[in-house]
Structure 1
Amino acid sequence: MPSSEHADGPAAVVVLDNDPFAARALAAVLSHDPRHFRVMWWCSSAPEAIQRCLHARELPQVLVCDIALSGMTGMDVCATIRKAGSRIGVVLVTAYDPKEYVADAVSVGAQAVLGKDEAMHGLMEAVQKAAAGRGVCGCPDVSAAAGPGRNEGGPRVVPRLSERERAVMRFFAKGMKADDIAERLDLSRNTVMTYSHRALRKLHAENREEAMEKCGRYDLFK
């Protein structure tokens, strides 16, 4: 039977990142302090990570998980683990502004959201506190953001899109093409598509049509 019990000692940590090089780098940051952290494994496959976090012979205490993955998001991974009843600490990392993901992190039961550029000085603190089941000071504290009476089973928090992301999705909803939106906002086409992809990830949408429907539902076009 899988065990999640760990004697006093280094926190048992695992890492999931879509980019194997990034996964290895995050693992290396934690491995530099073997007194406090024991990196059990790292991988770049979300299904593999979920399986190992739930059913391995020895279960980790903390999962460090990138938000941008292939096929599913880090939010989805955390939600799946929580639905299975696991209390593993989850520290989400992102290359974008972590404050934009706090609301979604609250809704799936993560302990912290950390920018990848903060990993060298913030990751260790985040993992230590997540292992203890606490939110993290020094980066968006999702336990505090949850507010009174908030838990994983509560109503979903409305996703937060940046002003640019909302503008791009608003123009797509009006039937405009990416090139037209780029001209209207004085951006490159690639930048417009980047904002669109970010919005899809935050909304957990499979395609732009679903994202626009969710924007309407959450009243995000204002």
Structure 2
Amino acid sequence: MKVVVAEDQGMLRGALSALLDLEDDIEVVAQAADGLQALDCIQRLQPDICVMDIEMPHMSGLDVAEKLKEMNHACKVVILTTFSRSGYFQRALKAGARGFLLKDSPIDELGAALRTVYKGGRAVSPELALSLFDSENPLSEREREVLRLAAEGLSAGDIAGRLYLSAGTVRNYLSEAIQKLEAKNRIDAISIAEKSGWL
């Protein structure tokens, strides 16, 4: 199987690629340092699988997965992460990712996961599967949208203009989000939502 490895930390990217290349049935055809490079490599080289970090410059691994799904691309996505955040996991599943593993998994576990995904199955770290049941995202899509824009530093008035809502409605969404997350204020709500992978 042909694999692209996308990871912004050079040493980890190189080590991962070298270890995967040792497997008889896996060929690493490219390495990417960010999400845009990953997307370019996938489109040019048509690999079977892309092993991707979540947090990368330009486009996150989840952004790339969503883009591939939108394009109806055959490349399967396996997300490698240090975060066992249920919000990330849920978003990855929605984006069509076939695997979701922790970076500290043994390399033979990764090899086995890639084979499972290659054959059409799914591979998920047990710790991540458990975290899914621990905490569901309490925010509605609109509350997430408003919080995301607030996180970019936009005022209630600016957010209202962007989303074609009244400033009062935006303030209501913000206060709903603050209540649901049991946050002290807007900044605290953004911090809680980001840490949980819900934004």
Structure-1-length-normalised TM-score: 0.59
**In the alignment, is the contact (CA less than 8 A) between 1:46 and 1:72 conserved in 2?**
yes
1:51 aligned residue: 40
1:196 aligns with 2:191: yes
1:16 aligns with 2:6: yes
- Deviation, 1:201, is 8.2
2:104 aligned residue: 117
Structure 2 CA distance for aligned equivalents of residues 121 and 44 of structure 1: 23
**In the alignment, is the contact (CA less than 8 A) between 1:26 and 1:119 conserved in 2?**
no
**In the alignment, is the contact (CA less than 8 A) between 2:82 and 2:102 conserved in 1?**
yes
2:15 aligned residue: 25
Please point out which of 88, 94, 107 is paired with 2:75.
Answer: 88
Structure 1 residues 198, 123: closer, same or farther in 2, change over 3 A? farther
Counting only pairs closer than 5 Å after superposition, residues 153-172 of structure 1 correspond to structure 2 as: 170-172=183-185
Structure 1 residues 119, 26: closer, same or farther in 2, change over 3 A? farther
**In the alignment, is the contact (CA less than 8 A) between 2:34 and 2:58 conserved in 1?**
no
Q: 1:72 is matched by which residue type in structure 2?
A: M
Q: 1:203 is matched by which residue type in structure 2?
A: W
Task: Count the aligned residue pairs.
Answer: 153
Q: Which consecutive unaligned segments of at least 5 residues does structure 1 have?
A: 1-10, 146-155, 160-165, 182-194, 205-222
- Deviation, 1:104, is 1.2
2:113 aligned residue: 126
Structure 2 CA distance for aligned equivalents of residues 69 and 85 of structure 1: 22
1:106 aligns with 2:100: no
Q: 1:63 is matched by which residue type in structure 2?
A: C
Q: CA RMSD in A?
A: 3.3
Structure 1 residues 49, 198: closer, same or farther in 2, change over 3 A? farther
Structure 2 CA distance for aligned equivalents of residues 172 and 118 of structure 1: 37
Structure 1 residues 21, 98: closer, same or farther in 2, change over 3 A? farther
SS at match of 1:30: helix
Q: 1:27 is matched by which residue type in structure 2?
A: S
**Percent identity for Structure 1 against Structure 2:** 21
Q: Which consecutive unaligned segments of at least 5 residues does structure 2 have?
A: 133-140, 145-178
Structure 1 residues 51, 31: closer, same or farther in 2, change over 3 A? same
Structure 2 CA distance for aligned equivalents of residues 99 and 121 of structure 1: 24
**In the alignment, is the contact (CA less than 8 A) between 1:31 and 1:37 conserved in 2?**
yes
- Deviation, 1:63, is 0.2
- Deviation, 1:168, is 8.3
Structure 2 CA distance for aligned equivalents of residues 201 and 138 of structure 1: 18
SS at match of 1:42: strand
Q: 1:196 is matched by which residue type in structure 2?
A: S
Structure 2 CA distance for aligned equivalents of residues 114 and 37 of structure 1: 18
Structure 1 residues 16, 131: closer, same or farther in 2, change over 3 A? same
